[in-house]
Structure 1
Amino acid sequence: MASRPTTIRSIPIITPAEGVTEKMIRELVVTFYDRVLRDPELGPIFHEALSGRWNEHLAIMVDFWSSIALRTARYSGKPQAAHADMDLTPELFGRWLDLFGETAREILEPDVAEFFIGRAQRIAESLQIGLGIGPKALRLP
């Protein structure tokens, strides 16, 4: 009787992203959202949603990205709920991702930029699914 090889499923260990620092995260967030505010498509939406709360939002976004990149667990918000009342479309998510990618590639080392861009793409996809928009959104009949 021949023995069959055992397959062991490996569970990836989540570790902080190599080369990422809090300073990088803060620079990315501040630079990106400054560009968002000036963007003709995204600016009006974010101005309306966050009027008078920009400093608070920036701090939340730094905590969010720190939790993702460095596993600091500082972010405990609910992104779906935070975006539910915004008039978002797949095209606006595309614009957001383009601007985020441009910013990341401009100010970060290539491997660090690609880490953030990859995470941003997954986050945007998840948000669109949760908000019921975009090509992968779950639509019930």
Structure 2
Amino acid sequence: MRRDIATEDDIKLLVDTFYDHVNQDEILSPVFNGFANVNWPQHLPVMYKFWSTVLFGSMAYKGQPFPKHMRLPVDRKHFARWESLFTQTVNELFEGPKAAEAKQKAASIARIFQMKLGLFSTLEQ
């Protein structure tokens, strides 16, 4: 039985494993490593803080995530793949209420970003 997400080390494991998957993915890797040219040593600690804030209420993350994503050449398939990889990663590593919350929050974030980018209306399910 896998354990639940409970510590900052768990967040780090989740984020590192997820972005390992992203970097190997034929749909997402070109966006992150090509167009966005992500500086991983700088980006990963920001993502640790982001998910710590989302899941633990740590308030470690002080940024605004959406503006950085506005210029990216992404569509619905990118968000679907991002959410799928995130869910897959959580399921590989963890189970429990906090793991379920992480998957729900990721789905919500993907949906909000897509709405803000005009990829679908608020009326779509």
Amino acid at match of 2:54: I
Indicate yes or no: 2:69 matched with 1:72. Answer: no
Check conservation: 2:32, 2:38, Cα contact below 8 A: no
Greater share of residues in helix: 2
Q: Identify the residue that residue 72 of structure 2 maps to in structure 1.
A: 86
Q: Please tell me the root mean square deviation across aligned C-alpha atoms, in Å.
A: 1.8
TM-score normalised according to structure 2 size? 0.87
Could you tell me how far apart the structure 1 residues matched to 2:53 and 2:29 are? 26
Correspondence for 1:103 among 89, 114, 117: 89
CA contact (8 A) 1:80 1:131 kept: no
Q: Secondary structure at the match of 2:9?
A: helix
Distance 1:43 1:52 in 2: 10
Following superposition, the deviation at residue 111 of structure 1 comes to 2.9
Larger Rg: 1
Equivalent position amino acid for 1:93 in 2: F
> Where has structure 1 moved over 6 Å in runs of 4 or more?
none
Q: Which residue of 2 aligns with 1:133?
A: 119
Choose between structure 1 and 2 for higher RCO, CA contacts under 8 A separated by at least 6 residues. 2
Call closer, same or farther: CA 1:49–1:75 in 2, change over 3 Å.
farther
Q: CA deviation at 1:89?
A: 0.6
Query: Which of 10, 32, 35 matches 1:46?
Result: 32
* Residue of structure 1 in register with 2:17 after alignment: 31
2:20 and 2:38 map into 1 onto residues whose CA distance is: 15
The whole-number CA distance in structure 1 between the counterparts of 2:43 and 2:101 is: 22
Task: Name the TM-score, length of structure 1 as normaliser.
Answer: 0.78
Q: Report % sequence identity.
A: 33
Aligned residues: 120
Shift of 1:82: 0.8
In structure 2, which of residues 79, 97, 107 is the aligned counterpart of residue 121 of structure 1?
107
Q: Take 2:30 and 2:87, find their aligned partners in 1: how far apart are those partners?
A: 20
- CA–CA distance in structure 1, aligned partners of residues 22 and 13 of structure 2: 14
